[in-house]
Structure 1
């Protein structure tokens, strides 16, 4: 099985679209592991059946890192995507507005999300739960920004990991197929909502430290 894994709003749906473009078969649902919650899947298939899937099948995943879980996942091919933490915060706010129009896009909403509105956690803290996947043997770590730039080397590493060709057309098809693609990439530096108060919230929540840990200092 192929895991298309990453923190929410980091670009995991882009990975699944790439897999479809490469001729892989999608397993329904999302594999999820969050803090203090058991491993679950949002499909009717039992976990045992999902983990028995062959390497031509993939599943969308949001898995925080835990040593015991990492041991279990070593039997599978693993794509892990990271993204600039500030843009994850912006994208999550946009996503929540899409889910519920009462949650308006604003500096106040963004500050609330940063301080504790990411599944009940501050955004930097929640992102940090995922980052240790980068250090696991066999995990192919990809940057969202490189995929957006249609980086040939990143596409080749993905193809080498899952078995397939690094055809640039995969990028074109992936952008069109991604279920959460809005046509515009979230950019905190160009956002009217990233105010001084939001910057203060980001700093107090540990944002600069998680940016450095993720390689975006």
Structure 2
């Protein structure tokens, strides 16, 4: 506490009778009561922590989303490439003829070959073989699940991809084997029909075609 000199304005001790600066009498001058100001505790640290934590969480979430999106795109692209890599190599595509067990004369159409690059998951894959004439018109077709041929995977021997028999001759010029996934044609492979194995009884059949 102190007294303020009315003459010069200098503060003197509260028990002083005269101003310490100008010697002015301080009798009757009121004593100044200094208020003790309590300093409020700083909250800046806690406030900073409160704003930083949500920011860090937000960054982590963004990073997780970016990584997940990148992984999804990579896996999708890899899957598409695997699908496109499934191929068919033909070994023998021909038609033969002869009497069946019942004595009826039949024509037998065969498509033999190899499947390359089987996918790990064959769910949804089918193999469709189309028997076509010279105008590329489909005469008949067969369909089988790709998983049916899994036993031939990595085999050095060819497998029968498709076969068809009929008592009525079909003038098949070529066949098309389609690899289908969920109704979409991923790849198509073509081979000519070999008629050199027809017997003399099938005089109406053309000859001298060869398979690709």
Q: Give the alignment's TM-score, normalised by structure 2.
A: 0.22
Q: Using CA pairs below 8 Å that are at least 6 residues apart, which structure has the higher relative contact order?
A: 1
In our comparison, the structure showing a higher alpha carbon Rg is 2
Bigger fraction of residues in strand: 2
Bigger fraction of residues in helix: 1
